Structure 1
Amino acid sequence: MKQVGELESLYTAWKDWQNTRELLKETDVLLQDPDPTMRSLAADEHGELLDKLSSLAEKTFPSLLVPPSKTAHLSSMVELKAGVGGSEAALFLGEVMRMYTNLSQTMGWQAAIVAKNLTEHGGVKDAIVEIKGDKVYDMLRWESGVHRVQRVPLTESGGRVHTSTVAVLVMPLSEETHVDEELFKMEDVKVEVMRSKGAGGQHVNKTESAVRLTHIPTGITVAMQDERSQHTNRRRAFQVLQARLMDRKLNEDMIQRRDVRRNLVSSADRSEKIRTYNFPQDRVTDHRIGLSLNNVASVMEGPGLQDFLDALAKKHQDELLEDAFTTS
């Protein structure tokens, strides 16, 4: 059934091509009709049919050469960390987090904040957001990188524009709850339990509910203490670990193909500045595709962000299509 579903778009396009060709043949006859009104109508339709055939030949059929995405079924785990800029970076992180939850509402996805570390001034030092839905990872994966904000902080009395950053890491999230043996083995994970730190009253000091995992082969560590239940923290920690390892594997696969598409690897660089949110000029610029939108509010509320994601998806599609022709 999966294979039939993947071939359905090709079948539909081919039937569309055949039907359009038949209509074009019928229209060719009407171009010789003695009635000038009929000839004029036929000429208009003839032009539209030719345009449709050209579109099918130049765009639709070539795009079907691109193999279906192997990650289309995956949701996402989005990890955010405040970078340079102190309290202003933490405040912006909270806004970026809301930007993704706003987008999720627009797209009909389910977003849940599973971990959040607040600062004294109401900002967010770091956070993890789960976003579940159809093709979430494929759409959000290009958000990984450094997001830069330029604006006048509320605490700035001199009106000077400050620059702050937030690092975003979008990881694949599988709906499966069992341990993926291809990613890691349980004997390779060191599990530690400890008392939670921070706000929480007497409970923090009396129960060992915090969990820290260390994946020994890679050195990746995950600590989770947001919930009072050790079981819940443990489950979420393993979920984060699995997401990080899956993200690592997908990027290793991408790097192995860098000779074919070097700039695709570059776009996944976690340290690269990918987008600038300039509030004084009301402009958001994505540096990978050179696209700017003069409406910061629209981007932060979700619809504007979707324009960037669509443009990045098209860029990726064009690169895959070019690869298909190169290797064919």
Structure 2
Amino acid sequence: MEVYIQLSSGKGPKECDFFLTHVLGIFQREALAKQIHVIVINEDKSGSGLIQSVVCKLTGAEIDIFLQAWKGSLLWICESPFRRFHKRKNWFIALFVITKEKEIILLEKDILYQVMRSSGAGGQHVNKVSSAVRALHMPTGITAVAMDTRSQLQNKKLAKERLAHKLMQLQNESAQQDVDKQWQNHAEIERGNPTRVFKGIDFKS
């Protein structure tokens, strides 16, 4: 099983970044105890070197059960280690599960080729011979057409290349949506109703 998660301090102050930086270690240790492997994919840090946002890939069994104790807002109750006499003692961060689109792999068995008459310029020969090729990627419904040459074989190859290019564009758009969602998560953290509470400078829970 493979799951992606994001820990984010949102637009919180330095205390939230401090909380996240320490909680990441706790999260990794508890995951390891459940035989869940955590790989850090991306990390955004503040100017002071504290983590503001981190994306991790989790692999192992029963990840969903493990995340029940983590998913949502997390609360740290502690006096600020940076601002003496500061009244605030509640600091929130959050853990989000990221939905990742599966990578699209272009397989020959998933392509339906259709031969058709070429149209447009190319002389009488092009109009008489069914040399144009349409390639349909059956899992996504995306199509590409090639009628560049008189060779049906060459057009088939071109149609497949164009289909691969369209699928790559689709994958890139999906990846960008993942990034946009992460930034949205970073901005939207529920302050209240925490899934888990940590207390004190030693983060006891």
Could you tell me the TM-score, scaled by structure 2's length? Answer: 0.54
Aligned: 1:213 with 2:175: yes
Distance in structure 2 (CA, Å) of the matches to 1:147 and 1:88:
13
**Partner amino acid, structure 1, of 2:193:** K
Q: Determine if contact 1:89/1:164 at 8 Å carries over to the other structure.
A: yes
- Residue 165 of structure 1 aligns to a residue in which SS? strand
1:34 match? none
Query: Which blocks of at least 5 consecutive residues in structure 2 are unaligned?
Result: 106-138, 141-165, 183-188
Distance in structure 1 (CA, Å) of the matches to 2:172 and 2:61:
33
Distance in structure 1 (CA, Å) of the matches to 2:59 and 2:199:
30
Q: Call closer, same or farther: CA 1:187–1:177 in 2, change over 3 Å.
A: closer
Aligned: 1:83 with 2:45: no
- Cα offset, 1:278, TM superposition: 4.9
Distance in structure 2 (CA, Å) of the matches to 1:85 and 1:163:
11
Q: Determine if contact 1:75/1:172 at 8 Å carries over to the other structure.
A: no
Aligned: 1:104 with 2:61: no
Distance in structure 1 (CA, Å) of the matches to 2:5 and 2:203:
21
- Cα offset, 1:158, TM superposition: 1.9
Q: Determine if contact 2:3/2:97 at 8 Å carries over to the other structure.
A: yes
Q: Determine if contact 1:81/1:125 at 8 Å carries over to the other structure.
A: yes
1:94 match? 21
1:250 match? none
1:124 match? 51
Distance in structure 2 (CA, Å) of the matches to 1:96 and 1:116:
14
- Residue 81 of structure 2 aligns to a residue in which SS? coil
Distance in structure 2 (CA, Å) of the matches to 1:172 and 1:165:
23
Q: Which of the two has greater strand per residue?
A: 2
71, 77, 85: which is aligned to 1:158?
85
**Equivalent residue pairs, number:** 142
Q: Determine if contact 2:103/2:171 at 8 Å carries over to the other structure.
A: no
Q: Call closer, same or farther: CA 1:168–1:85 in 2, change over 3 Å.
A: same
248, 272, 275: which is aligned to 2:195?
275
Q: Call closer, same or farther: CA 1:102–1:119 in 2, change over 3 Å.
A: same
**Partner amino acid, structure 2, of 1:121:** S
Query: Which blocks of at least 5 consecutive residues in structure 1 are unaligned?
Result: 1-73, 193-211, 215-219, 224-239, 242-269, 283-294, 300-328
Aligned: 1:115 with 2:35: no
Q: Which has the higher contact order (CA 8 A, sep 6+)?
A: 2
Q: Which of the two has greater helix per residue?
A: 1
Aligned: 1:191 with 2:172: yes
RMSD: 3.9
Q: Determine if contact 2:100/2:178 at 8 Å carries over to the other structure.
A: no
- Cα offset, 1:188, TM superposition: 7.3
Distance in structure 2 (CA, Å) of the matches to 1:141 and 1:187:
35
Distance in structure 2 (CA, Å) of the matches to 1:102 and 1:173:
24
Distance in structure 1 (CA, Å) of the matches to 2:100 and 2:32:
18
Distance in structure 2 (CA, Å) of the matches to 1:78 and 1:158:
35
2:157 match? none
- Residue 273 of structure 1 aligns to a residue in which SS? coil
Could you tell me the TM-score, scaled by structure 1's length? Answer: 0.36
Q: Which deviates more from structure 2 when the two are superposed, residues 142-151 or residues 128-137?
A: 142-151
Distance in structure 2 (CA, Å) of the matches to 1:91 and 1:144:
19
**Partner amino acid, structure 2, of 1:274:** P
